[in-house]
Amino acid sequence: MAVGLSKISELLPVKGVQVSACIAGIYKEKREDLALISFGSNSNCAAVFTQNAFCAAPVIVAKKHIKEGKPNYCLINSGNANAGLGERGIEATMDVCRHLADYTGASVENVLPFSTGVIAEPLPVKKIKNAIPTLVDILIADAWSHVANAILTTDTLAKGISKKLDLPDGEITITGIAKGSGMIRPKMATMLAYIATDADIDETLLQSLLSDVVEDSFNCISIDGDTSTNDACFMVATGESRVDEIKSFDDGSGLLFRNALLEVCVYLAQAIVRDGEGATKFISIDVIDGASRKECREVALTVANSPLVKTAFFASDPNWGRILAAIGRTELSALDVGSISISLNDVKIVERGQRAESYTEAKGQHVMDQEEIIVHISMGRGSASAVIWTCDLSHEYIRINSEYRS
């Protein structure tokens, strides 16, 4: 069961965007597994994709199309990653893109494909093509929750959030959805995320904004240290809010919008961790007083990805020596262990590189028994900081992944 995560509440429609989802028979169980997001040609789009060298066919095609065309559609399937198939995968992706383009009268470059699911299985092209007329015919503004459910794989809950900004010259809406539960240590974004707004933002500025916000949200999570072949985060700004164009995010309405978008992305990123495969604890690794943000992130990720640390959290075992050992293997230059302090929530466990005098096993156990834990690490070598959100590693994670294809 997801840690501190409940079912999504109302997801607001975004002016200029229509969405739909249907049962195409791709997923192993009968459920919505194919989705479509549609938006006007005057919209501006931005995206970030996986840095995995073995990126999936839809990632290759989507990156090409977003450069060459003016996207109108996002076509998303779950149950099949269409990855590890070489040219055959590319041809399958292009086949479904052409079919949607032909049916709607769009150019094939205007279709962005996305897939998630099992790697190295042929994409069920016929099933997708057969379902496309239904997807197009049922497009409406208010079906975001259906899309959020259709893109799930091992997730236990759909993930979505909406925010409405009341600005001096009008109202702006942001709605975002995401999926992800395993194979999560993004090096760009999450498994799949889609964000829509009716704000008016230049395409270049939008891309810069999304890349920055992703760095402080989706790039701050890790469930198991693995980067997917299919990761993508897509954003569209339709410009239909009638609010003046946002030309800067430094102050005024632009800053308010940036902060709201960051809140949306942080919520979705944390929701993925809270719904991590088999997760029973939500853990924040908060590193401060580092020489640089980069080294703080390295320390936080090393702790977050340590199987020994993660299994100790699952067992509610205050074996804090595992945290200290993880920090020590980060290969930071001139690391002074005597400068490091560590706390679990408000319980000091390490001071100046050794067990804190005030620490007791009972205090440590009290913290470890909780579902949400903050690991505070002070490096004592600068003023930089970084945070990584992660979860524990349980028996259930192993079961889910050992049975994934069965």
Q: Which CATH architecture has domain 282-402?
A: Roll (3.10)
State mean pLDDT over 41-59: 95
Chain mean pLDDT for the chain: 96
Q: Closest by alpha carbon to 231, among 47, 63, 50? A: 50
- Mind listing the pLDDT tens digit for each residue in 214-236? 999 999 999 999 989 999 999 99
Confirm or reject CATH 3.60.70.12 for domain 17-274, answering yes or no: yes
- Hey, which residues does 173 pair with through a beta bridge? 164
176 contacts 214 by C-beta, under 8 angstroms: no
C-beta of residue 401 within 8 angstroms of C-beta of residue 225 = no
**What is the domain partition of the chain in residue ranges?**
17-274, 282-402
* 15: pLDDT strictly greater than 60: yes
Average confidence (pLDDT) over 169-197: 92
Confidence of residue 1 (pLDDT cuts 50, 70, 90): low
Q: In degrees, to the nearest 5, what angle opens at C-alpha 264 toward C-alphas 68 and 64?
A: 15
Average pLDDT over every residue of 74-94:
97
Catalytic residue numbers read 190
Segment 4-8 mean pLDDT: 94
Average pLDDT over residues 75-104: 97
Residue 405's pLDDT band, with cuts at 50, 70 and 90, is confident
Distance CA 192, CA 76 (A): 9
Question: How would DSSP label each residue in 10-36?
Answer: PPPP-TTEEEEEE--S-SSSSS--EEE
Confidence bin at 188 (pLDDT 50/70/90): confident
- Burial environment of residue 362 by CB neighbours within 10 A (0 to 12, 13 to 18, 19 or more): exposed
Structure confidence at residue 191 (pLDDT): 83
Record the tokens describing residue 367, joined without a space.
């913290």
* Residue keyed to tokens 């979505």: 160
d(C-alpha 393, C-alpha 66), whole Å: 37
Residue 315, pLDDT score: 97
H or E element: which one contains 165? strand 159-167
Question: Which residues 6+ apart lie within 8 Å of 257 measured at CB?
Answer: 165, 172, 174, 197, 199, 246, 249
Question: Of all residues in the chain, what percent carry a pLDDT higher than 90?
Answer: 93
Burial 3-33 (b: 16+ CB within 10 A, else e): bebeebeebbbbbbbbbbbbbbbbbeeeebb
Strand partners, 342: 350, 377
Q: What is the average per-residue pLDDT within 231-260?
A: 97
Q: Identify the pLDDT of residue 404.
A: 74
Percent of the chain having pLDDT more than 70? Answer: 99
pLDDT of 190 above 70: no
Q: In the predicted model, what is the mean pLDDT of residues 267-277?
A: 96
- Using only C-alpha atoms, the chain has a radius of gyration, in whole angstroms, of 22
Contact yes or no for 181/272 (Cβ under 8 A): yes
Confidence at residue 307, expressed as pLDDT on a 0 to 100 scale = 96
Confidence at residue 406, expressed as pLDDT on a 0 to 100 scale:
56
Q: Are strands 73-78 and 221-222 parallel, antiparallel or unpaired?
A: unpaired
Query: Cα 162 to the chain's mean position, in Å?
Result: 16
